[in-house]
Structure 1
Amino acid sequence: MIYIDFDRDSSEPLYIQAFNQLAKKINHNEIKGGTRLPSSRQMSKQMNVSVNTITNAYNLLVQYGYISSEERSGYYVNDITKTDENVPERKWHSDTPYTYNFSRNGSDLSVPASLKKSYKYCLKNFIEDAFSYPDYTGTYDLRKQISLMLNKTLDINCSPLQVIVGSGLETLLDSLFRIMGNDMVFGLENPAYYRIARYMRLGGRRLSYLNIETDGPTQKSLNNFNADILFLMPFHHYPMYYTMSKEQKRMILDWAGKDRYIIEYGYDMDFVYKNQSKPLFSMSQNKNVIFAGDFQRSIAPNISTAYLILPEHLVNLWQKEYYTYHSYVSKAEQEFIAEIIKNGSYYTNLKRLRKQYQNKQEHLVSCLCKHPLGQKIEIKNTDAGTTILMVPKPDISEENLIVSAHKKGVKLSYIKNALEQENPKVPLKTFILGFGELSIPEIEAGAKLLMDTWTPLLNGTL
């Protein structure tokens, strides 16, 4: 058995520790050339770390020539004594010395066998068609499966004609604004989703910001807000992580009336742990709400396919403007997504991820609240996703808390960085803890280290 001695109190990331120790064993011939290494999943179970930790370590070993990856077979140690007798012992150092990174709103990157099987099936059966031009709104099969999926999971009724498939949300929004008018005022919640806020600023859009509170927009904030299109994330807002209530949705629709549009982005729509109300698209009766979605959280971060569901009166405008265009998404990727929705493996994977994320969240909240310092923090917005909010109660600057955590190897982010303008309703000392990429042992150890680090600060003894 290959053993890795992880130092969980070290500031060096676990995957770097794994890489350095395995590289040393190979250099010293403790692991001989030709040896087949355990799979990432097997090794992660043996060492009680996440699959991502081992996968990242293996990728570095491949990059530096210690091992080779053979398709459908695994990882094999290269015989470096034969290829170069004077290979120096190489030690790789991370540029970001964080042992526990809670700052990323990441996803589980392991790929279940059912998705791999579907991908191989598509490559085998659609290879002749994979290199042809797809329809300018996406393949019909994918648009049909998306409409069926939304009806099944969110009670959204739409036809395949209303589904527009494109490469990334930003590309689709660009095309949408072209037919709606580039001079329209675009509304964003504040704090804002950095990806869309940055895209809008770079595009020179006219922007208006809707100040929200910890649990979302209020009637008072809407009374003084003006925009032609409002971009919302009602399932799980980033970065406040609230889930919008039915009353808030009705309030938004009343504000929009007949003359304004709403873009409802389905961020984390598959990872809401408590009962949720109908989407805005359904509540508006298919009139002035545009639904937007993608598969980066539900399948993999590198899946570029995104989609819009247009109200019927915008479909004709889109067809008239773009009928000579081609979709920027590869046909192979579209066929793969359509296939996994059709054969059910998409839903099976969602169920797996939902259970896994909810379990991780419960462990994180439990570790924080059961710590002796637990009564001095407040946990908020745990209804969905792979992130929670934590607000320390004592009056200590967020900079001091951030710096002390980072010095101990715990990386955090906080709300202040997401503010587009001043918002007195949002407490600046609100920290964002993401747990999607971390294993449960890493979550428990990281939470304990964070709370131990903050103990003297929050107790006023430092």
Structure 2
Amino acid sequence: TWRKYAKELFDDASKELLLTGEPQGELSLRTEIANYLFQSRGVVCSPEQIVIGSGTEQLLPMILRLFNDDTCFALENPGYPAVHRMFSQHKRKVYPIAVDDEGIVIHELEKTSADVVYITPSHQFPTGAVLSATRRAQALNWAAQSSSRYIIEDDYDSEFRYTGKPIPALHALDRNDKVIYMSTFTKSLMPSLRVAYFVLPPKLLATYNDVFNYYSSTVPRFDQHIVANFMRDGHFAKHLNRMRKIYRKKHEKLTSILENYSNQINITGEQAGMHILLDVQHSLSEKQLQHLASNAEIRIYPLSDYRLDHSAPSQAQFLLGFGGIPVHEIEPSIEKLMNCWDIQKKHQSTSR
């Protein structure tokens, strides 16, 4: 289907597609994104509020430029290292805010002088925590207390949820135009497709137009039109449903296998996304366990790598991704990991 749309565009390509497009992205794609967000995430916005770019790494710095140089920001800790680096590279003052099983701790945010907070409420990266209803209300209340306060909502992994009802975006609950919504097609379509977007509150549109008056979109117009047509004809929704079934099958297989080791392994963050978090009860340190896994050619990621200060927790914790592994390889891979850690199934005796 994708090839068909690409061929049609090339066959029918007019000179117009070879010219520079609209700075915010093609209207056809922005219209489809607005429709999709309303239907799937409860986000009400117009195409004029949407800006299309080539990924979070390009769009987030654009958002930072909408705020004064002395604006203070808050980030989830642990969080996405690339985001941490972007704030650091742009020399922005950052407050690290703790995360627990209900998401970012809002009362810790309230103690800071931050005006803008970056959060991943649908599936916190990397812990997998879902921001609770109470915390969502607290976050929106915090933002509403000052005209300079905003929330950057990164909804990167929201399409893939395996338990419970779909959770609306934080933006859908916002009645004061305080949420800047971000998402990407990287996980939902393909990593090589560098198409992402953000939705600006109306108050920030004028600032955006002033700052990026001479900006050109970094996403090829051909790519934008292919995605727009793919969404327009219902193929994106069908693709998501198909991928949800595939990932749910992998997720169920992985969690059921790990349940055999629940005497020393606890799973968190398993409601959504393409990774889970393992709490490992072991006499060895996080670094030692990672070394053993690496020697066994098992790729896991220590939670300490995602902390702003890279501090190791008292108990070893690891991210374990499952999006790219075939279902039939999950069980032998987990058995290989548990063997290298000398962790036995819970029904087996450790006596010799």
Q: Is TM more than 0.5 here? A: yes
The aligned residue for residue 239 of structure 2 is: 349
What letter matches 1:174 in structure 2? P
1:28-66, Cα deviation, whole Å (9 max, x unpaired): xxxxxxxxxxxxxxxxxxxxxxxxxxxxxxxxxxxxxxx
Which one of the candidate residues 146, 156, 159 is aligned to 1:270? 159
Find the aligned partners of 1:321 and 1:374 in 2 and give their Cα distance.
53
Q: Helix, strand or coil: the match of 1:329? A: coil
1:451 CA displacement: 1.5
Q: Helix, strand or coil: the match of 1:357? A: helix
Asked if 1:402 is matched to 2:290, the reply is: yes
Q: 1:355 to 1:457 in 2, by over 3 A?
A: closer
- Kept in 1: contact 2:304–2:310 (CA 8 A): no
Asked if 1:166 is matched to 2:166, the reply is: no
Asked if 1:205 is matched to 2:95, the reply is: no
Q: Helix, strand or coil: the match of 1:390? A: strand
Q: 1:441 to 1:175 in 2, by over 3 A?
A: same
Find the aligned partners of 2:102 and 2:281 in 1 and give their Cα distance.
18
Gaps of 5+ in 2: none
1:122-175, Cα deviation, whole Å (9 max, x unpaired): 332335433111111111111111101101111111111111112322332333
Find the aligned partners of 1:171 and 1:410 in 2 and give their Cα distance.
31
Q: What is the TM-score of this pair, normalised by structure 2?
A: 0.91
Which one of the candidate residues 186, 196, 216 is aligned to 1:326? 216
Find the aligned partners of 1:374 and 1:192 in 2 and give their Cα distance.
26
Find the aligned partners of 2:314 and 2:243 in 1 and give their Cα distance.
31
Asked if 1:393 is matched to 2:285, the reply is: no
What letter matches 2:64 in structure 1? F
1:57-85, Cα deviation, whole Å (9 max, x unpaired): xxxxxxxxxxxxxxxxxxxxxxxxxxxxx
The aligned residue for residue 256 of structure 1 is: 143
1:119 CA displacement: 2.6
Which one of the candidate residues 196, 215, 237 is aligned to 1:306? 196
Find the aligned partners of 1:128 and 1:137 in 2 and give their Cα distance.
20
1:271 CA displacement: 0.9
Find the aligned partners of 1:351 and 1:363 in 2 and give their Cα distance.
18
Find the aligned partners of 2:4 and 2:335 in 1 and give their Cα distance.
40
Asked if 1:292 is matched to 2:179, the reply is: no
Q: State the superposition RMSD in angstroms.
A: 2.3
Asked if 1:243 is matched to 2:130, the reply is: yes
The aligned residue for residue 414 of structure 1 is: 302
1:414-457, Cα deviation, whole Å (9 max, x unpaired): 10111103779x65511111011110122111011111222269
Which one of the candidate residues 266, 290, 311 is aligned to 1:378? 266
Find the aligned partners of 1:319 and 1:220 in 2 and give their Cα distance.
34
Q: Helix, strand or coil: the match of 1:292? A: strand
Q: Helix, strand or coil: the match of 1:116? A: helix
Asked if 1:338 is matched to 2:338, the reply is: no
1:308-367, Cα deviation, whole Å (9 max, x unpaired): 111111112222333333222211111111111101111111111111111101111111
Find the aligned partners of 2:204 and 2:270 in 1 and give their Cα distance.
36
Find the aligned partners of 1:166 and 1:408 in 2 and give their Cα distance.
39
What letter matches 1:398 in structure 2? E
Asked if 1:124 is matched to 2:14, the reply is: no
What letter matches 2:275 in structure 1? T
Q: Helix, strand or coil: the match of 1:200? A: helix
Q: 1:355 to 1:427 in 2, by over 3 A?
A: farther
- Kept in 1: contact 2:102–2:132 (CA 8 A): no
Find the aligned partners of 2:217 and 2:319 in 1 and give their Cα distance.
36
Q: Helix, strand or coil: the match of 2:263? A: helix
- Kept in 2: contact 1:416–1:428 (CA 8 A): no
- Kept in 1: contact 2:28–2:228 (CA 8 A): yes
1:382 CA displacement: 0.8
Find the aligned partners of 2:142 and 2:341 in 1 and give their Cα distance.
43
Find the aligned partners of 2:343 and 2:264 in 1 and give their Cα distance.
12
Find the aligned partners of 1:203 and 1:319 in 2 and give their Cα distance.
21
Q: Helix, strand or coil: the match of 1:208? A: strand
Q: 1:456 to 1:342 in 2, by over 3 A?
A: closer
Alignment of 1:441-460 (within 5 A): 441-455=328-342
Find the aligned partners of 1:427 and 1:347 in 2 and give their Cα distance.
43
What letter matches 1:129 in structure 2? E
Asked if 1:150 is matched to 2:150, the reply is: no
Q: Helix, strand or coil: the match of 1:179? A: coil
